[in-house]
Structure 1
């Protein structure tokens, strides 16, 4: 079974506090998710983020198909990072680390996602043209949305990278 990894880096000209306030609010995930994904939070986003928090969503990754996604916030270091892990949902494994680092002129927001696909060889075959493509589109949308909300750092290049571990 293959383990895939997505790494995304985005530079924002805002304070660490402002970045944390926005990114650690589970309700803002809907703000930065493409509308066509039909993303809705069902439960668990009504409190400030804490370890052990369970958040339930509905997401429509493909036309005509919706699924429930349940994540747990497993680690929180206020202002610096948090980790969410899928408990139930479309992936065999989903471990998502969110980091916020202070840099000159703003912050570096870094996401590292380790994930495994279900369905064995069929899942692996779908990765390049379906899963990877969709994840890249989601993170490019997030980059555009965060840039429209907070601006950009023109001297820094945002990136989205994939690899198979």
Structure 2
């Protein structure tokens, strides 16, 4: 298992940050331009045990995901687990922490590559890709919530 962590500070309250992440439509805005995301589950409202179906396409390779909402602790935590994905295991914790007048957005992704030792050879590439993706996600989330133009 590998763990990836990305943390940023955003000038907004934790409830706004939490609500932003509950709105799955925002996923299309915070996904990097080299990846296309299609929400297959329309009008999805995140509640525990609900499953969101997503199709992502990168490098012309489509991947279907089924993500189950594992835990919601408003306004501080949202945890989803992939039931179907390119990974043997995928858990994503979205953590929202109040620090005075600002909030910390912390993403913790724990994953396991498929295909045993062969999959393990690709872990560094996956971590590099996660860094790029979450750098973009945090940047756009910050701009949107701080009402900057992008």
Measured on the aligned residues, the alpha-carbon RMSD in Å equals 1.6
Gaps of at least 5 residues in structure 1 are: 152-165
Residue aligned with 2:34, SS: helix
Paired residues in the alignment total 147
Matches within 5 A, 1:1-150: 3-43=1-41, 46-61=43-58, 63-128=59-124, 130-150=125-145
Partners of 1:60 and 1:47 in 2: CA distance: 20
Q: Deviations over 1:98-157 (max 9, x none)?
A: 1111111211111111100012222111121x2111111101111221232134xxxxxx
Residue aligned with 1:51, SS: coil
Partners of 2:40 and 2:117 in 1: CA distance: 32
Residue aligned with 2:87, SS: coil
Residue aligned with 2:4, SS: strand
Residue aligned with 1:98, SS: strand
Partners of 2:28 and 2:50 in 1: CA distance: 17
Q: CA deviation at 1:66?
A: 0.8
Q: Which has the higher contact order (CA 8 A, sep 6+)?
A: 1
User: Which aligned segments of 4 or more residues in structure 1 are displaced greater than 3 angstroms?
Assistant: none
Gaps of at least 5 residues in structure 2 are: none
